[in-house]
Structures are given as C-alpha cells and as structure tokens.
Structure 1
Amino acid sequence: MSTIPEFERMLRGAALRVTAPRIAVLTAVHNQPHSDTDTILGRVRESLGAVSHQAVYDVLRALTAAGLLRRIQPMGAVARYETRVGDNHHHLVCRSCGVINDVDCAVGEAPCLTAADDNGFVLDEAEVIYWGLCADCSAPHTASAHP
C-alpha cells in the first residue's frame, strides 16, 4: 500500500507541487480503485473538510495528465479513476451492477493487441473492456422463490 511519502515522491517526480488536495485525491483513488468523481470528492472532504468540486476536478485532470492516475470511462458510465498506471491492463465491467475489476493484458506485450491495419499510427496502448455479469449478479436467485 502506498503511503503519503510515496505519493509526495510521485508528485515531485512528475514535477507537481505537493499539496494536501493532491495527496488526498491520490489516497482516495488508491484506497478505492475505479472511483467516480463524486466518490473521490466525498473521500477528499472526509480527510480535508470543505473542498470544491472544481478543485477536485482540477487535481484529477492534473494527476491524469502527469500519468499518476488513469481515467477510464466504460460506455454509458461516468469516468472512473485508478492509480494502476503504465501497465496497459484492461477491465471487466458488470452490465448489471457496474462493478469494475482489473484484468491483465489479454495477450502479448503492450499494446496487447495488434491492429489489422494501423493506418500509419505508432501504437502504444490498447483499451479493452470486457462486458458481462459479475459472480454476484450471475448467481441464480432461487432462495426467496421456494418456501
């Protein structure tokens, strides 16, 4: 688990000032991966008190741009953030409850997939989202149906 000194080193390494809101956002996202902005805002307010939505949005944007956070946005869902960056992992998303889990690359080295035609692009990342039902949502609901 990352500690505040590790977060401070990460911020300095990314040429960002160490501030309480940045530490609070990194801590919130690290402790609850795949959090949405409202959840992160709530966690930051728990640790710092009054913080504006705009301040948290600004910190999320700066940390994402610096590569300290990864922003994911499955189709039809709000943006989520995670501290697992740089390994080009993928995600499993439950169609029913929306839970998101990490899954390692499907095959090979990053970008994990080879495009049939790269159209001259130099590929460095592939974003893959697997959709389905999580174990809880796919379990049969029979306990209440029988006396």
Structure 2
Amino acid sequence: MHAHATPEEALRAASLRVTAPRLATLEAVQTAAHADTDTVIRVVREKLPAVSHQAVYDSLHALTRAGLVRRIQPHGMVARYESRVGDNHHHLVCRSCGLIVDVDCAVGSAPCAVPADDHGFAIDEAEFIFWGLCASCQAAAPESADLP
C-alpha cells in the first residue's frame, strides 16, 4: 500500500469493493501492528459494534489475498496481521511475552538470503524470525529468579 494512500484508495487500487467491514479491518491492522484475529475483531467493533466475526475473517482474507495485509504465524503462536507489506522484512519475537517487532532485511534486498541449493525455485522472498527475550522481559528475569 502506498504510504500516503487512504484506506479507501488502497481498497480501490487493489480492485476491492469499499465496504465498512473492509475499511474498519484495514484500519485496525494499520493501528494494531501484529494483531491477532481477536484483537482485530475487538478494534473493528469499536467502530462497527454489530459486525460479525465472519465479516472480519472475510475482510482479513480479502485484504491478505490483495496484498494490503500480511499474515504471519510464528511457530507456536496464532496468526497475526500487519499492514507493512511488499518489503520482505523480518521479525523479532520475544519468547516470554510474545512481543513482535519488525526488522529490515538481514542482508541487502529481497530475498535477503540465498539457499545453498534452490532446487529450481525462482526465489523472491525469504522469511526469518529471530527469537529471544525483549528488553522488558530481560529486565524482569532476575526478579522472577528470586521467587521461591
């Protein structure tokens, strides 16, 4: 999505009908980075209290298929959605609190890495997830170690 495009313009540019659930869902993903489906539904319902779960699921699916939203699912976690698309960035994930942070490509431009053997694939993207403890969880770790 173009950085200055309104949600309505983004939907039209992706050849999607502009509907209230799609607009609210796209705006929710833009404001709640790496949100899970329940969070997206909660944010959408702040604007559209009567919207169904299915309408939000359908909107997320359409937005993802159109490339306006990216779905990620780090191992062991529920699916998350983000509006940062098209730049082949990666993620840092905290093993303790689940915080997810965007990080730019590790090396150069997409796909950022080349496998030893591409098996004939035309590779255009690489996805890396870096796991560890965020600064807040690191700071809290010594306190929890003192508990009986």
Match of 2:105 in 1: 105
Alignment of 1:1-147 (within 5 A): 6-139=6-139, 140-142=141-143
Measured in 2, the distance between the counterparts of 1:135 and 1:84 equals 23
- For residues 87 and 22 of structure 1, what CA distance do their matches in structure 2 show? 23
Gaps of 5+ in 2: none
Distance 2:143 2:86 in 1: 43
Instruction: Give the aligned residue type for 2:14.
Output: A
TM norm structure 2 = 0.91
- Residues 56-75 of structure 1 show CA distances to partners (whole Å, capped at 9, x for unaligned) of 11100000000000000000
Supply the distance in 1 between the matched residues of 2:46 and 2:7 (Cα, whole angstroms).
18
Q: Secondary structure at the match of 2:60?
A: helix
Deviation of the 1:141 alpha carbon:
3.4
Q: Secondary structure of 2:125's match?
A: coil
Once the two structures are TM-superposed, the CA of residue 142 in structure 1 deviates from its matched residue by 4.1
Please, what is the CA RMSD of the aligned residues? 1.8
In the TM superposition, what is the alpha-carbon distance from 1:51 to its structure 2 partner?
1.2
CA displacement, residues 69-94 of structure 1 (integer Å, 9 cap, x when unaligned): 00000000000000000000000000
- Deviation above 4 Å: which 4+ runs of structure 1? none
Secondary structure, aligned partner of 1:141? helix
Aligned-partner residue type, residue 43 of structure 1: V
**Following the alignment from structure 1 to structure 2, what is the Cα–Cα distance between the partners of residues 37 and 142?**
32
Displacement of 1:50 in angstroms is: 1.2
Residue 101 of structure 1 and its aligned partner are, at CA, apart by: 0.3
What is the identity percentage for the equivalent residue pairs of Structure 1 and Structure 2? Answer: 66
